[in-house]
Amino acid sequence: MAAKEASTQAPYPQVVRGADLDRRAVLYARVSTNNGQDPELQSREIREYCLRRGWPLVGEYVDLGISGAKERRPELDRLIADAHRRKFEVVVVWKFDRFARSVSHLLRALETFRALGIEFVSLSEQVDTSTPTGKMVFTVLGAVAELERSLIAERVRAGLRNARAKGKRLGRPTKHVDPAAVALLRSQGLPWRRVGARLGVSAATAYAAAKGRL
């Protein structure tokens, strides 16, 4: 009897038994290479999860041979576009790192989903944003992302302070424009835009050179 009970126990504590047919779900899976990696492992578990939840699975988005660090992923981009078209109400992934390339990327995606009324489920981390626990995780992720941004900004500021202390000049190098060349071109009736183009600078830079501001 005990063995029978154990076999029917749901592996994910947030599984809600019973039909929930008003929520259309989609899955997203990704593998970094095509060499021995099979996204079906992720997809199969997600399908089983949706079946237990009673969610009709209306779409599958799978990126093959795509590194997690890449900015553009065809299937993920298509998923986001379909989210804006309100084609589903739940996104289910196998693991956070299969979906997002960083905490800040994950948080931006979750904020987009929340604004669209779409829930997000990650099986491995057992996170479901429709539950109180999932909402708490969302808040924690926001705090972590803010800390990440603050640390990056502080490292940039420290680098700038160090460069200045060593006497390095920061910013774009100043372009030297001969005021006489500007005056000559202007005397030929050329507008400031044409003058700048001839000298390889902007019209504003040419004007500043003529006025002795460079």
Task: Indicate which residues carry an active-site annotation.
Answer: 32
3-state secondary structure of 56: coil
Interacting residues of 212 by C-beta distance below 8 A, sequence separation 6+: 179
What does the buried/exposed string (b/e) look like for 27-49 if buried means 16 or more CB atoms within 10 Å of the residue's CB?
bbbbbeeeeeeebeebbebbbeb
